[in-house]
Chains A and B, each alone.
Chain A
Amino acid sequence: MRIDMVVNGKEAGGEVEGRTVLSSFLRDQLALTGCHVGCDTSQCGACVVHVDGQAVKSCTMLAAEAAGSEITTIEGMANADGSLNVIQQAFQDHHGLQCGFCTPGMVMSAAALLKENPKPSEAEVRDYLEGNICRCTGYHNIVKAIMAASGQDVVPVAAE
């Protein structure tokens, strides 16, 4: 079947099977490989993208169900001039990534959180990241980056 949607502000579409999940459509047909697939079973959050502003696990949504929606992936997060946006820059400044595999999902979840709750507490950040698994960092610097991106003092946040 034919599906059309708006991805990162641009019209995008293609032919999909019923069983095509959104992560496969984004990666294989639109070449947006920043949408990572870690577990493919809705556990790890590496594949989180925004569908009509909501953070969802794109490995667990049919592409057909996203037809007509507005999708934002990590490729759509940078500023218009190509520089890193405030969350991405904070991840770099605060060493919020090591291998980087979880990072696209972390940034997309962080963006959804900060839209809902612009000044979250450390506990709220950790709670919101429940569905995003990182195997490298131990989370401290991810939490620190998100606190910094929200304009808060990060000194008391993490174990250095």
Chain B
Amino acid sequence: MYNFDVEMPGSVADAVSAMGREEAQALGGGQTLIPTLKQRLASPSVLVSLSKISEMKGVCTGEDGALCIGGATVHAAVAKDGFAGLAGLASRIGDPAVRARGTIGGSLANNDPSACYPAAALGCGATIVTNSREIAADDYFQGMFDTALEEGEIITEVRFPVPEVSRYEKFVQPASRFALVGVFVARFSEGVRVAVTGASEDGVFRWAEAEAALSQAFSENAVDGLSVPADGMISDLHGSAAYRAHLVGVMTKRAVANAA
């Protein structure tokens, strides 16, 4: 790693001013960023650690009934306090040591095409709250490793509308522990949302056809005969594009069958 300064602000306001320093970068749990720095793929001059900002940690229920999760909340805390689908997702990210450090804000800011949280945020229609604005999940994810965040913007909170039932099914890529394909299904009174991670070269996406069918009838059979095209799917040594496209259907069915 190239050397850098470390700032440890105690409030969002102090973090925002520290982010104003030249070549500053936010440090969440470091589970992605520290390995990246070791490979010298990034060279910030100052890391602004978010881990000591208590107003950015914890899970609570907002006035509108939404589940509000601080941007620096670790996966282990969401595994304990999230609703069924979200807690299940968080409890299967990586391993216990990764879950003790990695944060929801870091995962959403990074937007790895195989990461789990993007599927939950898009699948629930969550709101990503930053130090300066609120961004709807539908506008937030802009392709592999790309988001609507501006330079220096910090995710302070993520608000999830709580679904009636939900479930995340992950086909694990065992070497990385990320999703080879992961599908988040959430049923709300207004309809069903289905978000897919790990599959597309454009990152997380909604599967509109399955949403329409499942909104009509929330059962595994509703997905029968539906398929996503293999065009634009990731193809690598772990799985071809056609295989990933097939897994999208399988994981969607499993998510519906196990929704709680």
Contact = CB atoms under 8 A, between A and B. Distances in A.
Nearest to A132: B95
A40 B34 CA distance: 10
Interface stretch (A54-62, A74-82, A86-94, A140-148): A54-62
A45 B95 contact: yes
A83 interface: no
Name B's interface SS: mixed
A18 to B, nearest CB: 4
Contacts of B31: 42, 60
B96 A112 contact: yes
A21 B27 CA distance: 14
Contacts of B8: 64-65
Contact of A55 (B46, B51, B96, B177): B96
A50 B172 CA distance: 27
A130 B37 contact: no
Given A18-B4, A60-B101, A130 B96 contact: yes
B30 interface: yes
Nearest to B52: A65
A128 B96 contact: yes
B5 interface: yes
Nearest to B46: A18
B100 interface: yes
B94 interface: yes
A130 B98 CA distance: 10
A131 B3 contact: no
Contact of B34 (A17, A55, A60): A60
B3 A17 contact: yes
A5 B76 CA distance: 24
B98 A57 contact: yes
Contacts of B98: 42, 57, 131
Interface string B86-124: 000000001111101100000000000000000000000
Interface string A1-18: 100000000000000011
Contacts of A61: 30, 34, 101
Contacts of A48: 97
A18 B30 contact: no
A45 B3 contact: no
Contacts of A130: 94-96, 177
Contact of B30 (A45, A62, A113, A131): A62
B2 A19 contact: yes
A72 interface: no
A121 to B, nearest CB: 16
Contacts of B133: none
Interface of A: 1, 17-19, 21, 40-42, 45, 48, 54-57, 60-62, 64-65, 109, 112-113, 128, 130-132
Interface of B: 1-6, 8, 27, 30-31, 34-35, 37-38, 46-47, 49, 51, 76, 94-98, 100-101, 177
